[in-house]
Structure 1
Amino acid sequence: MPDLTSLLAFALIALGMVLTPGPNMVYLVSRSISQGRMAGWISLGGVAAGFIFYMLCAAFGITALVMAVPFAYDALRIAGAVYLLFLAWQAVKPGGQSAFEVRVLVKDSPRRLFAMGFLTNLLNPKIAVMYLSMLPQFIDPAAGSVLGQSVILGFVQIAVSVSVNSVIITLAGSIAVFLTARPGWILVQRWLMGSVLTALALRMATEARRA
């Protein structure tokens, strides 16, 4: 079982990542505005299924890798820090767009909404890299089963993502109107997220290897 500090730190990273606009957020917001909240929640169910798929694949793969390669932990830790810096740049780079810019989508059936949510998440490189490069550094082999810790941390990320996206789906229309009328807030949000992700990347890169 991961300690409370590791769980909170990982939850903070998960929060920063879910608040950084990417394919999942863009799709869920657009779907919610175009077809209504129920369509957004059904799509979120597909996104959550994609998270579970990635989490289980990563949990079994990380377990084998950490046990077999002595320096795998450090390599994955550095890769995770670099990726967080990349996300920070994506958040603040000139010309960045907000996920709340309204995009019109064709109405789809519940089955297709779920499938599209699943596929959108499955093809999202941010999620794959997050599980493969950031999850391992919060795992301490001395604290028990690596597989068990991976699954627990994975479900923490899923819980954070689903909770935040549920709120975003519920308020998507109102947020879009608010930000359209106040473009300065979009810039503030982007720089805030960029700063948080940079701080997390620096902490990750300088953290000593677990004993």
Structure 2
Amino acid sequence: MIPATTLMAFALIALGMVLTPGPNMMYLVSRSICQGRVAGLYSLAGVVLGFVIYLLLAAFGLTAVVMAVPFAYDTLRLAGAFYLGYLAWNTLKPGGRSPFQVKDLPEDSPRKLFFMGLLTNLLNPKIAVLYLSLLPQFVDVSKGHVLEQSLILGSTQILVSLTVNTTIVITASSIAHFLGRHPRWATFQRYLMGTVLGGLALKMALETRKA
């Protein structure tokens, strides 16, 4: 139903999204390093469920409610901006650490890891906006079955995200050890990540809804 070229283009956009530093990557990396790959995979399962929820909302048109009600959208937007700012501060503050640096954190149960992964994803309003604005551009109404096309496209995004994030979870420890042997790279990565997160938080906080 969906041309292969269209599906490939959407998959490439999805790849660019998941490779952009954000709350999901930060959380998955931190848990994978401090508690192991299994903990990272539990967290990833929660993140994936968040994508599924957003996909279903978008596919059935419910995401439009968030965009139509200013209070609902602004609440999500400001919550996401605050969370990004919190991550940025913890990265850039004096004595702050890179998200790839090994650090001691209390171990969380599989249930909490899953829930926090889900919450991290759901608190990012960009996901809702992206599903609402991006999916329609790749849906061909003339071919009918709009719901089916939306589900296929959304499933493609989830598959790309799952593949990339699984790789991140598995290799996070190796990256951490590399940065540990090359402290200059670790410092550069920490400031780069913190600056990106801070910029995203500011942009998100100042963003206004488009009429």
Provide TM-score, normalisation by structure 1: 0.67
Aligned partners of 1:62 and 1:132 also within 8 Å: no
Assess, with a 3 A threshold, how the Cα gap between structure 1 residues 15 and 168 changes in structure 2: closer, same or farther: same
Relative to structure 1, the CA distance from residue 40 to residue 63 in structure 2 (aligned partners, 3 Å threshold; closer, same or farther) is closer
Q: Is the 8 A contact 1:28 1:43 kept in 2?
A: yes
- Residue 21 of structure 2: aligned partner: 21
| 1:1-211 superposed matches below 5 A | 1-61=1-61, 99-102=99-102, 104-179=104-179, 181=182, 183=185
Q: Report Cα offsets for 1:115-159 as digits up to 9, x if no partner.
A: 111111111123212211111101110122111100000000000
Residue 63 of structure 2 contacts residue 128 of structure 2 at CA under 8 Å; is this kept in 1?
no
CA RMSD in angstroms comes to: 2.7
Cα distance in 2, alignment partners of residues 2 and 103 from structure 1:
46
Amino acid at match of 1:183: W
Deviations 1:80-127 (A, max 9, x none): xxxxxxxxxxxxxxx8x9753556532111111111111111111232
Distance 1:64 1:109, change over 3 A: closer
Kept in 2: contact 1:18–1:164 (CA 8 A) = yes
**Letter of the 2:176 counterpart:** A
CA distance in 1, matches of 2:60, 2:103: 38
Q: Distance in 2 between matches of 1:99 and 1:147?
A: 38
The residue identity in structure 1 corresponding to 2:167 is V
Q: Point out the more displaced range, 121-130 or 35-44.
A: 121-130
1:41-92, CA deviations, whole angstroms, 9 ceiling, x for partnerless residues? Answer: 0110111111000000001118999xxxxxxxxxxxxxxxxxxxxxxxxxxx
**Structure 1 residues 103 and 130, CA, compared in 2 at 3 Å: closer, same or farther?**
farther
Shift of residue 178, structure 1, vs aligned partner: 2.6
Unaligned regions of 5+ residues in structure 1, if any? 66-94, 191-211
CA 101–178 in structure 1, closer or farther in 2 if over 3 Å, else same: same
* Code of the aligned partner of 1:158: I
CA distance, structure 2, for counterparts of residue 34 and residue 116 of structure 1: 15
Q: Give the fraction of aligned pairs with identical amino acids, expressed as a percent.
A: 62
Aligned residues: 159
**Amino acid corresponding to residue 151 of structure 2 in structure 1:** V
Instruction: Point out where structure 2 has 5 or more consecutive residues left out of the alignment.
Output: 66-91, 194-211
Q: What is the CA distance between 1:177 and its match in structure 2?
A: 3.0
The one-letter code sitting in structure 2 at the alignment partner of 1:6 is T
